[in-house]
Structure 1
Amino acid sequence: MARPVIREFFTGIRILGKGFGMWRAKPKLLALGLIPALISFVLLAGALVPFGLALGSITDWITPFADGWASPWRELLRAGLGIVLLVVALALAGAVFTALTLTIGDPFYQRIWRGVERSLGGPEPTGDTGVLTTIGEGIRLVVLGILVALLTLAIGFIPVVGGMLATVIGVILSGRLVARELTGRAFDARGLTTYSRSELLRSGRARVIGFGVATQLCFLVPLGAIVTMPAAVAGSTILARSLTERATPSPQAVEQPLPPHA
């Protein structure tokens, strides 16, 4: 049971790799997504950098009860709390970055995912994915990102293992949210309802998480989010296509009627 799940997880990572491969195959197309990503990155960096610089003061303010603790327990507590707060901030930043970038650069990312659809061959989905839908999905992503951040923060207070658990769970949950948001255009264009989309994502949960976690980790690399965003949009189109095709039986898989007896 574990082996197929692990294989699916790494399939999701490879799909993001195929998205990065589009930088070589269609550099002009993916370059369209750089400017919106850069704008969002600058806006978020303007909030995250001061937060990171003030992290020591914030942890001191949250833990006044530890002022009288002996060294090194006081420092260990505040360092652990600082790590948890940073993980929470980065998890939320990934969701906000994705929602903000897709909203700002909607016309550019529409061209990217449709260009990738055409390059994959087969029937191209022609459904509408309007700006209002993009804004609504973005708001939903931010709200869910806040809930994930709060859950991660709560887990971080578990003694001893809280910091590690918070990091792992935060990356997994926020990665899944990002993957869901990125596949939204390709699914909407196929006319899928919210329920159908959820069913498809659930059917390939390990693949979706692998793609989302890899994307989230690339976002954490300095300036990596700018280059990763267009590749992630391309990769999410491949991911959506793979999940849809797997759920649709091929003509060869349809049982043929038995020939009449002579």
Structure 2
Amino acid sequence: MRDLAAGLGYLMKGQRWVARHPRSWGLGMVPALITLVGYVAALIALGWWTDDVIAWLTPFADDWGTPWLGLFRGALAVLFFGGCLLLALITFTAVTLLVGQPFYESLSERVDLAIDGHVPSSGLPLWRELLISARESTAVLVRVALWGTVLFASGFLPVIGQTAIPAIGFCVSGFFLTEELAAVALARRRVPLAERLRLLRSRKLLVLGFGVPLTLLFLVPLAAVIVMPGAVAGATLLARDLLGEPTSEDGPAPGEATAGTGGAGTGGTGAGAPHGPGGPTPYG
């Protein structure tokens, strides 16, 4: 339970951090707002055509009598739209981070700098970072799609399909949402996707404490736009926790060097330095 509380705590600390830096908050909402407009338009279109899609997928039920036809296709429509909404929650973060990559990188760096005066860097050019981010986000989306398919099929199970499965869906969303956000800080430390997933699985309660409340917030209209900058800041703190780095917000002022930061010192990281148990293999 302590990890659950810590995960929620990082989410709240991230929001407090951007509240103290209103310019960063304002700029950080722009990419999220642009992405949100596109997603709302897509979801409205999806909602409009969902009944037609379900009817096209289930021609065998055309001759069913009432109320069975309506109940069957209505349940499928809810599951279909819910699955698409789950996918949208995950892809929204990935697309927003891709659109606002330079800004969110800068925001995450400022959080690192405020804690120990040191900013880990991947040492890669921006175009290479964008390429790696797009490739790894695609790999995450494949995993999400597989989970979504399993959950969609499980939704037909009596009782648990309407109770446990939606709860599991929120946990899956929270896990991968956290991965996408923490990737901003972890990628700068050259921690590849496979190692990031291993780190997150090793602290599931911490990840869920951060990701599940954020997933619920993202369901509130416009909330995703408002909390996105703080979510990146909080995920940076969470990433530092996963790697055993200090997370106190009472660190040295930006620009102040401290003993044990930078290079291989305690709490410091050099570009490409290995992190975490087993030491991830840096991507080149």
**TM-score interval, normalised by the smaller of the two chains:** 0.7 to 0.9
Unaligned runs of 5+ in 2: 247-264, 267-284
**Residue matched to 1:256:** none
TM-superposed deviation, 1:87: 1.7
User: Residue deviations 1:140-194, cap 9 Å, x none?
Assistant: 2222222222122111122333133332222211221111121112112223344
Q: Which residue of 1 aligns with 2:64?
A: 68
In the alignment, is the contact (CA less than 8 A) between 2:5 and 2:209 conserved in 1?
yes
Q: 2:143 maps to which residue?
A: 144
Match of 1:206 in 2: 205
Query: Which residues of 2 match residues 28-177 of structure 1 at below 5 A?
Result: 28-63=23-58, 65=61, 68-71=64-67, 73-121=68-116, 123-128=118-123, 130-177=129-176
**Contact 1:83–1:163 (8 Å) recurs in 2:** no
Cross-structure match for 1:16: 11
Give the TM-score taking structure 2 as reference length. Answer: 0.76
**For 2:79 and 2:117, how far apart are their aligned partners in 1?**
46
Dislocated runs of 4+, deviation >6 Å: none
**How far, CA to CA, are the matches of 2:244 and 2:117 in structure 1?**
11
CA RMSD of aligned residues (A): 2.5
- Judged with a 3 Å threshold, the aligned counterparts in structure 2 of structure 1 residues 14 and 86 are, in CA distance, closer, same or farther, namely farther
TM-score (norm 1): 0.82
Aligned match of 1:215: 214
More helix by share: 1
Structure 1 segments unaligned to the other structure (5+ residues): 1-5, 252-262
Q: Distance in 2 between matches of 1:85 and 1:96?
A: 16
The verdict on how the C-alpha distance between 1:69 and 1:246 changes in structure 2, with shifts beyond 3 A counting, is farther
Q: Percent identity?
A: 35
Contact 2:104 2:184 in 1 (8 A): no
How many angstroms apart in 2 are the aligned matches of 1:58 and 1:160? 26
- Bigger shift: 138-147 or 202-211? 138-147
- How many residues align? The count is 243
1:210 partner amino acid? G
**Structure 1 Cα separation of the partners of residues 199 and 64 of structure 2:** 53
Q: Describe the shift of the 1:68–1:188 C-alpha distance in structure 2 as closer, same or farther (beyond 3 A).
A: closer
Decide which moves more: 228-237 or 139-148. 139-148
Tell me the CA shift for residue 211 of structure 1.
1.3
Query: 2:273 maps to which residue?
Result: none
Contact 1:138–1:181 (Cα < 8 Å) also in 2: yes
Structure 2: distance between partners of 1:89 and 1:116: 33
1:165 and 1:80, CA in 2 relative to 1: closer, same or farther beyond 3 A?
Answer: farther
